[in-house]
Structure 1
């Protein structure tokens, strides 16, 4: 034992004098069998508009070996019509060299592409390239696939008077596209309009969408002649995501607006009439056979008016809406919001304001329909102007589990309604309400049906409360309380999909139920 302590002391000294030993995972191997592996064999960009950069895609590069490898070169070669950019370990460029990946570790490569216009038509075109990795004499590739599409771009532009937007290529709005006073924008059947974050189509003159279009027969929901507005993010995750762009705004001088066979989705609001000082004559918008969905916004600030607004499918500040055969759904704040002298005429409309969001369960604190006779601008109360609301053969419904303002479950609310009760007329409609279970809107008064308790989940074919199939459908179920409960309305002989209405006992809502 007397020799053990000196021996340990000698060994400690020798350890100090020896050179340091590198961990195994830091030793770089030059063995040609040390290959890389990847999180995917193809980096795919969904359809991107030409001249607009794609979103950034991630590619993980894995070193499954126990020792480190040196990647001599990582690169992608730009080709005519497309430019690529990479971000590798903080270094930006089209190539990177001598990147060491420790054993059992990984490297993140960020890829982005910008595609130039081509002479091709409106159809997407394919651009392919390889992202190359050279390690220990090995060449490995990951395919990079992009789909480009030519488009008309409207960026902070005052449109020419009597402009026509054709359907031969998509239209992309950045910031604002303005229809000036005294001018008209006509949008032809089948046009596709994509708007960047925060972008607006602002109408001071007139907007005509599908104004002369007459379908030959029943339309499918994906009919190519429907005009469609949505955000410009084309990835799958953004297909039905609310609040991606501003919306359509009609200012005080706007007039004679017609929107037919149109889908507006994923915006902060669908249609906004902005006339906060109640200038006369008020702007008017007619909406027919249309769908407005996936609407949500944080407060929208209009600096010129000192006014903050929440999102809505139809938002009227001293403006008039005439709406027929139209569906409003998935509006996170309001489906319809009207203040200060607004006029709403709704016939055969479905407000099925179920809230849907992938991976979450949002709670809406607002009713689907809200009207009031006053508003504050710059914290100054404006004069009281009574709104007018007429609804016939329509549905106002949603999930009953949501908590609304005041703790109630009303999907329709008239603030200070006692002051303009004579301006409210609701007939032959289905309402979800507790506030109006008595009085002129109550059960069986004027043909109304309130809070149907027998099979409320069977109003529609497929809802978030009763999902049948892969998608939601607000057409009527065979057991729907809305079947054959309407009354014929002059001049309205078709439903949202151009199907004929029953001439004697039509269905309530935007859809006429098809006989099996």
Structure 2
């Protein structure tokens, strides 16, 4: 009897459950709520896909609802793309939202500016997402700026391969190749008319000069860069800008992701590579940011003039090294390098170097680093082979070398080659608390033959070093301590401020900081 009652109870429960209408969906009735009423997709280059953006759609009611359609206003002709609750398309039907629940909508865009407009360098492209139709329709606006650009890339062949550049042969005699292409004569001048976007390595052919004009913007795709071959030159000749924020006359090298979240991300592209035998490079009013290696310079051309003359230049957010010179010959003034995953300035395998009013720092925050801001060497270890070369000279005058580690200057010397250096009127961070270098005569800061008028371990008081704002306060210990003779050779700081009277150390003259 009890068993029969139990069966009857279960049947009754099933009957009651089957009569419930909890799973019947109500129309949306225009009562949806959105986390954004307008989705601003950041600037994209023409024909280049954007990042994915998202917003939420809320059902605040006590009923499960059905949205009959979610579609772009321009339908299949729209350059935007949607993914709604896992369903991709431009017109999506019958989307359910449970009571007191929400769904995600993901949006992307790829637009060709030539199809949207004629003879415009940028174009504001818009569309709308329509939720439902008729009187119950609700909309979310979509807005993006499409930027025109010159695109330079390796040729693609019918067999699916692409153009490559040869870097010689490896130890096994096999050819080393990278994705790249040789710049034709018509592409050897980069203007400021519109940005350049480079895929792979753009090669400057022997005997040619790549000229980059003031105000030019050069963007690199992942693992891309510029490579300057034997006998070739690179002249990046920017000018002083009237607006330090906009930097309208500065030449800027950076990645091709324009979204704000990528603005300071290291390692987005490879390097500017000045190969062995290239010559007569000139950089002025240039910013190099977010690369793996900012500038890689292999060897010098053996002449009496510097292979690289670099002025008023900033190198930031390098995943590995800001400026890496192997047996280089560099003359630099008003050069700033900061935030590098390994070393900001690496003078490797000897060479000749003169730095005046430069700021070399490292406030890297993206992980542990084991190297200092400045590393100077007269040798290079490659596998089991040790290469050596004379450090003919490495002169630093009116410079700042600092960072967030205790020791930001290290020498790596072998006796088989010369090792000549001189620091004059410099602020250095070298706080050897563990006495690792006590018996090393290289760091005798009392030896005026190599260290003259040195300030040790006093905070420079940068405006915001972690965010690459390297100007110093007028209360900085570096204020007013520059050698006037050196300052007369570099009479203006990186922002064009006169420093011939009371010169400060580093690339910037100091300013008063607001409280």
Match of 2:378 among 373, 376, 379: 373
2:368 alignment counterpart: 363
Are 1:98 and 2:91 an aligned pair?
Answer: no
User: What does 1:6-25 correspond to in 2, within 5 Å?
Assistant: 10-16=8-14, 20=18, 24=22
Residue aligning to 1:262 = 286
CA-atom RMSD, angstroms? 3.1
Q: Say whether the 8 Å CA contact 1:485–1:508 is kept in structure 2.
A: yes
Structure 1 Cα separation of the partners of residues 46 and 280 of structure 2: 34
Q: 1:208 to 1:122 in 2, by over 3 A?
A: farther
Are positions 1:390 and 2:395 aligned together?
yes
**Structure 1 pair 135–23 and aligned structure 2 pair: CA distance change class (3 A):** farther
Q: Secondary structure at the match of 2:368?
A: coil
Structure 2 alignment gaps of length 5 or more: 155-180
Q: Quote the offset at 1:132 in angstroms.
A: 0.9
How has the CA–CA distance of structure 1 residues 81 and 291 changed in structure 2, closer, same or farther, with 3 Å as cutoff?
farther
Q: Which residue number in structure 2 is paired with residue 314 of structure 1?
A: 323
Matching residue of 1:235 = 259
How many angstroms apart in 1 are the aligned matches of 2:288 and 2:98? 50
How far has the Cα of 1:191 moved from its partner?
A: 0.8
Matched with 2:217 is 192
Quick check: 2:378–2:418 contact (8 Å CA) kept in 1? no
Which residue number corresponds to residue 299 of structure 1? none
> Which 5+ residue runs of structure 1 have no aligned equivalent?
297-310, 403-408, 465-470
* 1:35-46 alignment runs, 5 A limit: 35-46=31-42
> Is residue 2:312 matched to residue 1:289?
yes
More strand by share: 2
Secondary structure of the corresponding residue to residue 459 of structure 2: helix
Give the direction of change, closer, same or farther, for the CA distance of 1:178–1:80 in structure 2 (3 Å limit).
Answer: farther
| 1:201 lines up with 2:210 in the alignment | no
Contact between 1:250 and 1:283, CA under 8 Å: does it hold in 2?
Answer: no
Q: Does 1:475 align with 2:452?
A: no
Query: Residues 78, 344 of structure 1: CA spacing in aligned structure 2 closer, same or farther, 3 A cutoff?
Result: farther
Change in 2 beyond 3 A, CA 1:283/1:350: closer
Q: Distance in 2 between matches of 1:419 and 1:481?
A: 38
* Deviations, residues 10-29 of structure 1 (Å, cap 9, x unaligned): 333433566635673x3311
Distance 1:64 1:155 in 2: 50
Q: Cα distance 1:384–1:219, how it changes in 2: closer, same or farther (>3 A)?
A: same
The alpha-carbon deviation at position 150 of structure 1 amounts to 0.7
Structure 1 residues 420 and 395, CA gap change in structure 2 (3 angstroms): farther
Q: Match of 1:86?
A: 82
The alpha carbon displacement at 1:81 in A equals: 9.2
- Deviations along 1:425-454, whole A, 9 cap, x unmatched? 2222111113489667515834332424xx
For residues 442 and 281 of structure 2, the distance between their equivalents in structure 1, rounded to whole angstroms, comes to: 35
Give the aligned partner of residue 326 of structure 1.
335
Cα distance between partner residues in 2 of 1:316 and 1:202: 15
Partner of 1:499: helix, strand, or coil? Answer: coil
Aligned counterparts of 2:127 and 2:269: Cα–Cα separation in 1: 32
Q: 124, 127, 130: which one pairs with 2:125?
A: 127
Deviation per CA, 1:287-320, whole angstroms, max 9, x where unpaired? 1011111111xxxxxxxxxxxxxx1110112332
- In structure 1, what is the equivalent of residue 459 of structure 2? 457
Distance 1:458 1:412, change over 3 A: closer
Counterparts of 2:10 and 2:390, CA distance in 1 = 93
Distance 1:416 1:76, change over 3 A: same
Secondary structure of the 1:318 match is strand
Which residue, out of 313, 338, 357, partners 1:348? 357
Q: Which residue of 1 aligns with 2:182?
A: 158
- Taking the aligned partners of 2:454 and 2:469, their CA distance within structure 1 comes to 21
Cα drift, residue 34 of structure 1 = 6.3
- The equivalent residue for 1:116 is 112
Q: 133, 136, 139: which is aligned to 2:137?
A: 139
Q: Deviations over 1:125-178 (max 9, x none)?
A: 211110111179621111010111111111134212372111011111122222
The residue aligned with 1:307 is none
* Rounded Cα–Cα distance in structure 2 between residues aligned with 1:513 and 1:169: 35
Q: Which moved more, 1:80-89 or 1:67-76?
A: 80-89
String of CA shifts for 1:367-390, please: whole Å, max 9, x gaps: 11112233244x241432133422
Change (3 A) 1:93 1:351: same
Q: Does 1:226 align with 2:250?
A: yes
Confirm or deny: 8 A CA contact 1:326 1:510 kept in the other structure: yes
**Is the alpha carbon distance of 1:225 and 1:79 closer, same or farther for their aligned partners in structure 2, counting shifts above 3 Å?**
farther
